[in-house]
Structure 1
Amino acid sequence: MKRICFIGLGIMGKPMAINLIKAGYSLQVYDRNPPKVEAVASAGARGCSSIKEAVEGCDYIITMLPNSPHVKSVVLGEDGVAENAKKGALLIDMSSIAPSASREIHDELKKRGIRMLDAPVSGGEPKAIDGTLAIMAGGDEKDFEEARELFDVLGSSAVLVGPVGSGNTCKLANQIIVALNIAAVSEGLMLARRAGADVEKVFMAIRNGLAGSTVMNAKVPMILEGNFKPGFRIDLHIKDLANALDTGLNTNTPLPLTAEVMQMMQVLKIDGEEKSDHSALMKYYEKLTGTRVRKE
């Protein structure tokens, strides 16, 4: 069986790695936080103390890291993936990073005979745990088909959307739509509350109509309970929206609503909510109006 290296064992990476172990794959895992390595090693992986050790002899290297600088450091940095992966290995970067960073990493790896897919995901921690993530990939079709058996373990859908960098472009579009959806839901429910309606019943009335969405069904119950335990953190969503705005600038694409919702999230970050779930966007409206939508 092919050997897999998994680097990055955070909120998303840990359950993804565990699902691969449960599916019978042999994993070598690394994270700069040793307790995270120990947690996945206890599920059956081989815990490693360095990137070099984790990458050694592996056919596939999966990275799930917070941002572009992290991925560049792990892959292209001293004693990183590029220096230690065997020729012909396939890097599957499932982080959400700038498309330009994906292309830069790909070009450097190609010089060393290492293949790459950028394959970010959507669905947050619950779908990472369930193995039902939506995977959007960029790269060579042959490499994508080779990786499909892994994607089938990690997600309920995997689509090749274009060359390397396209996966993260797709993810940016996804993140814009999710952020604006949460903001729209928050704005609509705040109107309902201040106009005297029962917000929970408003949710029940509209969730199966045209306004209904996966975002609404996932986030409104959290909002009403005041449960902002992170499935996807505000600071990470800010990072994605910043990448979207940079990409918009580089492609001469106006993104006025993206800029607005990013500023709303920045306000929450200043208020100390950066580690909260992005559904905490409701707190922005509560701050504006002095009205709580959350249950007392």
Structure 2
Amino acid sequence: MKVSFIGLGVMGMGMALNLAKGEQKNEFEFLACDANLEALEQFKEKGINTTTDITDTVDSDYIYLCLPNLDIVKEVVLGKSGLLTHLNPGQTIIDFSTISYLGATEIAETCKANGVEFLDCPISGQQAKSMEGTLSIMCGGNEEVFNKIKPMLDKMGTQVLYMGENGCGQLTKVINNCALNICVASFSELMPVGVKLGLDPEKLGDVLITATGSSFASKTLVPKVLEGDFEHGFSLDKAYKDMESINEVLVKHEIPLPTLSGTMQSYQLALQGGQRDYYKHAMIRFYEDLLGVQVRKEGFE
């Protein structure tokens, strides 16, 4: 059996390194693929086969993808010289990229028409978890195929869930992301109000981290707000695209979600306010500017 992995970026690197351990245990033959030669060095050092050409992967039983966006996934899979032009019925593509629900279902339908299985398996977790092999992986597609590849997925994640038919993996991921986005918007709007009216930022932050209004978002991001740390690899602009993705589904099915719609407006204000390239909690700076305050710990400059 041959397994290939295309896309060795921030998340794909650790995932591919963990998956490649299967070759070291003689479970399968492994090939790492990326256009960036530097990304291949760690694999070459371990004696793992590498390539910069995706067509070298087309004889694989299973081809894993971890790519930046929907356009690139479509080009790699459905493009004029993409994978699907070379694959035979019975081969499988597993996509870890975060793309839209509608995009995933469209790609899956095209693959299925050619006898190729396509599973959308977006991931959740930071770069450290990808290196540790402790990601959450949410999968949509053929359940029988999922059961076959689960031992491989278990090398990359500790929470590996089958969510349903094609698109269900992406739908799960975007719902999770949007729930996080809503939580970030809530404290970003409310903390500046508290500080404007005389509350101490650190004490208010302690309450939002520990009391009934706490969330994963407040626990991880309120400390960064207080320290003035808004740098992160995943920008507010990309977070907004998650909401655009689910909004396509809501429009198609005529489903009103006022809380999500309000959150999108908060993100739009932050994007227009110059916070596009910072992490999502940078939206608090829009409300700080609006109210003329800063939500920072004592001594911050």
Which range, TM-score by smaller chain? 0.7 to 0.9
Q: Tell me which moved more, 104-113 or 69-78.
A: 104-113
> TM-score normalized by structure 1?
0.87
1:116 maps to 2:115: no
Please give the secondary structure, in 2, of the residue aligned with 1:15.
helix
1:141 maps to 2:140: no
Q: 1:151 and 1:209, CA in 2 relative to 1: closer, same or farther beyond 3 A?
A: farther
2:50 is matched with: 47
Q: Tell me which moved more, 17-26 or 104-113.
A: 17-26
- 1:22 deviates by 4.9
Question: For 1:48 and 1:272, how far apart are their aligned partners in 2?
Answer: 40
Question: For 2:10 and 2:140, how far apart are their aligned partners in 1?
Answer: 23
1:10 is matched with: 9
- 1:75 deviates by 0.5
- CA deviation profile, 1:4-40 (whole Å, cap 9, x unmatched): 2222222222222233235656542333444334455
Matched to 2:294, the amino acid is R
Q: Which of the residues 185, 200, 203 maps onto 1:201?
A: 203
1:171 is matched with: 173
Q: Which of the residues 38, 43, 46 maps onto 1:35?
A: 38
2:232 is matched with: 230
Q: 1:186 and 1:19, CA in 2 relative to 1: closer, same or farther beyond 3 A?
A: farther
Residues 93, 116 of structure 1: 8 Å contact kept: yes
Question: For 1:66 and 1:11, how far apart are their aligned partners in 2?
Answer: 10
Q: 1:237 and 1:197, CA in 2 relative to 1: closer, same or farther beyond 3 A?
A: same
Question: For 1:267 and 1:294, how far apart are their aligned partners in 2?
Answer: 21
- 1:157 deviates by 1.0
Please give the secondary structure, in 2, of the residue aligned with 1:58.
coil
Matched to 2:123, the amino acid is V
Please give the secondary structure, in 1, of the residue aligned with 2:158.
strand
2:127 is matched with: 125
- CA deviation profile, 1:247-278 (whole Å, cap 9, x unmatched): 10001111333333333334444455433222
2:83 is matched with: 81
Please give the secondary structure, in 1, of the residue aligned with 2:119.
strand
1:19 maps to 2:27: no
Matched to 1:282, the amino acid is I
1:256 is matched with: 258
Residues 58, 86 of structure 1: 8 Å contact kept: no
Question: For 2:55 and 2:239, how far apart are their aligned partners in 1?
Answer: 30
2:284 is matched with: 282
Question: For 2:229 and 2:8, how far apart are their aligned partners in 1?
Answer: 23
Q: Tell me which moved more, 274-283 or 64-73.
A: 274-283
Please give the secondary structure, in 2, of the residue aligned with 1:29.
strand
How much is the aligned-residue C-alpha RMSD, in angstroms?
A: 2.5
Please give the secondary structure, in 2, of the residue aligned with 1:4.
strand
Q: 1:112 and 1:280, CA in 2 relative to 1: closer, same or farther beyond 3 A?
A: same
Q: Which of the residues 260, 264, 267 maps onto 1:265?
A: 267
Please give the secondary structure, in 2, of the residue aligned with 1:136.
strand
Q: 1:201 and 1:16, CA in 2 relative to 1: closer, same or farther beyond 3 A?
A: farther
Please give the secondary structure, in 2, of the residue aligned with 1:153.
coil
Residues 109, 115 of structure 1: 8 Å contact kept: yes
1:240 maps to 2:242: yes
Question: For 1:241 and 1:168, how far apart are their aligned partners in 2?
Answer: 12
Question: For 1:140 and 1:194, how far apart are their aligned partners in 2?
Answer: 53
> TM-score normalized by structure 2?
0.86
Q: Tell me which moved more, 284-293 or 94-103.
A: 284-293
Q: 1:219 and 1:59, CA in 2 relative to 1: closer, same or farther beyond 3 A?
A: farther
- CA deviation profile, 1:152-206 (whole Å, cap 9, x unmatched): 2222212212100111111221121011011112223323333333333333334
Question: For 1:106 and 1:282, how far apart are their aligned partners in 2?
Answer: 39
**Greater radius of gyration (CA):** 2
